Amino acid sequence: MTSRSDIPASVRSWQTGEGLHVDVRGLPCPEPLVTLLRLIDGGSVRERMFAHLGQEPLLLYPELDARGWRSRLVASAGDSAAGDDHVVLEIVRGTP
């Protein structure tokens, strides 16, 4: 279970039957990466979370692999010219 105190106040989060959702869109780099890795490294996420990002997090993938976590792109939508990209990444411990 994740404690709300583990998630920065500037980050929107909610729980569903699928797992924890963390919306890091709009944070300046490298805050999305740092926020997600802190949740994983701190033990706040046991098995699964869904990260909502403004773009595909290419630098996050090797960090997840090094920690034994895997990811799967669940959704990608938006118009990058308009600045409203929305990428949803499912992040799970081990193999998804």
Show the domain range for 42.
4-93
Under 8 Å CB-to-CB from 75, ≥6 apart: which residues?
86, 87, 88
Output the domain CATH number for residue 12. Answer: 3.30.110.40
How many domains, the chain?
Answer: 1
Q: What is the per-residue pLDDT for 76?
A: 82
- The whole-number pLDDT of residue 1 equals 46
pLDDT tens, the chain, 96 aa long: 445 567 888 899 999 999 999 999 999 999 999 999 999 999 999 899 999 999 999 999 999 999 999 999 998 876 555 556 899 999 999 965
Phi-psi region of 33 (alpha: psi -120 to 50; beta: other; left: phi over 0): alpha
pLDDT of the residue at 8 = 87
Tens-digit pLDDT profile for residues 76-91: 876 555 556 899 999 9
